[in-house]
Amino acid sequence: MCGIVGLFLKKDDLRPKLGDMLTDMLITMTDRGPDSAGIAIYGEGQDGTVKITLQSDSPDEAFDGLADAMAQALGITPSVKVVDTHAVVTLPDTAAADAIAWLEARGLRIMGSGASMEIYKEVGLPKDVAARFGLRDMGGSHGIGHTRMATESAVTTLGAHPFSTADDQCLVHNGSLSNHNQMRRKLARKGVVTRSENDTEVGAAYISSRIAEGATLGEALEGTIKDLDGFFTFVTGTKNGFGVVRDPIACKPAVMAETDDYVAFASEYRAFADLPGIDAARIWEPEPATVYFWER
């Protein structure tokens, strides 16, 4: 059992409040997932740059002098923003592949990368994770979050959601995939890299692989219904929006709300309680084996 939240803002005047609204939604889902929590925020980006979110269990040591070391090793001048156990490194997008390889060689964990996406996740109660990273103060156009109750893998940072397997793409998941090992091998033969044993990362990699092959977000989500076995509710984030799909049985709970200002997703309706204008929202339960997505 896990909790999922998502929020897509239609109006720019709400962007400064995105993190605050998502944090309240995330904390409301604590009893569905007290082991760990995470959130992906899609904020502002600069043309020609990429943001790489890193994590370290020893951030004081790992991030000290990181910008200077990268400048010397890679010939670039990145900016480094340290946030608790995470750091967001911004650098020219042409240097992203070399930078990621260099960072991983130093033992740093890559949480995700992209022009606008930042991912923050850690072990602990959602309220504590949110406070550590200052999630309430983060703005943006949309975001997704997850509270985890581990069932099949260890309670670790790498096991927490969201999972990102391509630039500006990430996934949160409630459920369990039964064919994830088989699918992981299929994806590996295509050169798709996964960094954990978590089944959700396989779901993320499957969607990323389909999009890389030319599928739209909607087509990639439709493919999960046919190619992934098990019980799942997926919420995926991209640079331009987010999408939702449930398996054909749809035993995992899900509810959506839409107003003129936003589209919201949650595992339970109570996560919407503090959203502005929720009393006038259109509320519905996503249908089984049906794709929903919103993009700008």
Q: Report the distance separating Cα 71 and Cα 61, nearest Å.
A: 18
In whole angstroms, what is the distance from residue 121 CA to residue 164 CA? 12
User: Which strand ranges, in their side-by-side order, compose the sheet holding 163-166?
Assistant: 163-166, 169-177, 230-238, 241-246, 291-295
Strands 36-42 and 117-123: antiparallel
Helices (H) and strands (E) in the chain, counts: 8, 16
Question: Can you say whether the dihedral through the CA atoms of 221, 226, 229, 231 is positive or negative?
Answer: positive
Q: Catalogue the active-site residues.
A: 2
Beta bridge partners of 119: 40
3-state secondary structure at position 150: coil
Integer Cα distance of 209 and 31 in angstroms: 33
248, exposed or middle or buried, with CB in 10 Å at 0-12, 13-18, 19+?
A: exposed
